[in-house]
C-alpha cells in the first residue's frame, strides 16, 4: 500500500479525539509532516569561535589610540566590581572591564584574563606605555597563571600606574600604583596596540 492510501483512508475517517483510529491518523499525519519539514532544510552546524591568539595586535594609524583607550577607561572609575560581568550597568570583573574598554574601540580581545597569556607582544615592565596591559596572578601568587589584568595608565618618575576592576577592599574600577604586593603577583606586560 502506498502512503497516499493511508492519507486517503485517514482523511475519510471522522475525526474525534476520543476515536482511537482518528488519533492514530492524526499521529501519522504529524509524523509525515515532521519528516517532510525536517528534510526541507539542513540544520545549522554550531561553529565555535576561533580562539584569540598571539596574533591579536592592532596596527593603528591613529597614534593617539592608546591615550584614547586610557581616557575612556578612566570614565569608568568607580563602577562596582562584579564577578563575571562586563557592563557598566552590572559592574565589571577585571577582564570584563578590559573587554568592555577595548570593544568600545572595536578591538577584539579575550574575555578571560588567563586567555591574555599568549596574546600581543611582551614588553619589559620599565618600557611599558599607557594602553599596555599588565598581567598578574590571582590572589594566590604561588599559582603562577594569569588571574588578574589591568590597563597601564602611566609610567613616569613616580612609578607605574594601572586602571583595573579590583575585587579588593575598593570593590570597583580604580587606578593603582604598582607596589610590592602587585610586584609579587606580576606576570608580564603585553602590548596590543602598535
Distances (CA, A) of 147 to 15, 19, 20, 99, 114: 65, 65, 64, 15, 6
pLDDT of residue 55: 45
Same domain, 98 and 166: yes
| Closest alpha carbon to 25 in 46, 49, 8 | 8
Same domain, 114 and 154: yes
Which CATH number covers residue 169? 3.90.1720.10
User: How is 70-89 classified by DSSP, letter by letter?
Assistant: HHHHHTTTTPBB-TT-EETT
pLDDT of residue 40: 46
Same domain, 172 and 123: yes
Residues of the chain with pLDDT under 50: 2-10, 13, 17, 36, 39-55
Task: Judge whether 178 lies within some domain.
Answer: yes
Same domain, 36 and 81: no
Task: Judge whether 9 lies within some domain.
Answer: yes
Q: Return the number of other C-beta atoms located less than 10 Å from residue 156's C-beta.
A: 7
Report how far residue 96's alpha carbon sits from residue 86's, in angstroms, rounded to the nearest whole number: 4
Same domain, 86 and 155: yes
pLDDT of residue 28: 66
Contact 147, 114 (CB under 8 A): yes
Same domain, 29 and 121: no
pLDDT of residue 194: 82
Domains: count for the chain: 2
Same domain, 105 and 186: yes
pLDDT of residue 62: 83
Range of the domain at 111: 65-191
Task: Looking at the chain, list the stretches that DSSP marks H as alpha helix, in order from N- to C-terminal side.
Answer: 3-12, 20-40, 65-74, 94-104, 180-185
Task: Judge whether 98 lies within some domain.
Answer: yes
pLDDT of residue 99: 97
Cell of 105: 574601540
Amino acid at each position: 500500500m502506498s502512503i497516499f492510501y493511508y492519507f486517503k483512508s485517514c482523511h475519510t475517517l471522522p475525526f474525534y479525539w476520543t476515536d482511537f483510529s482518528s488519533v492514530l491518523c492524526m499521529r501519522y499525519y504529524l509524523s509525515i509532516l515532521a519528516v517532510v519539514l525536517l528534510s526541507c532544510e539542513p540544520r545549522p552546524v554550531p561553529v565555535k569561535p576561533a580562539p584569540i591568539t598571539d596574533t591579536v595586535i592592532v596596527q593603528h594609524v591613529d597614534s593617539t589610540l592608546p591615550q584614547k583607550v586610557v581616557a575612556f577607561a578612566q570614565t569608568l572609575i568607580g563602577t562596582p566590581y562584579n564577578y563575571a560581568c562586563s557592563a557598566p550597568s552590572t559592574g565589571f570583573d577585571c577582564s570584563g572591564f578590559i573587554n568592555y574598554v577595548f570593544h568600545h574601540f572595536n578591538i577584539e580581545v579575550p574575555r578571560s584574563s588567563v586567555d591574555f597569556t599568549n596574546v600581543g607582544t611582551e614588553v619589559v615592565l620599565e618600557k611599558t606605555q599607557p594602553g599596555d596591559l599588565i598581567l598578574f596572578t590571582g590572589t594566590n601568587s604561588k599559582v603562577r597563571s594569569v588571574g588578574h589584568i589591568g590597563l597601564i595608565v602611566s609610567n613616569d618618575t613616580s612609578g607605574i600606574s594601572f586602571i583595573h576592576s579590583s575585587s579588593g577592599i575598593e570593590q570597583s574600577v580604580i587606578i593603582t600604583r604598582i607596589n610590592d604586593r602587585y610586584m609579587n603577583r606580576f606576570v608580564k606586560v603585553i602590548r596590543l596596540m602598535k
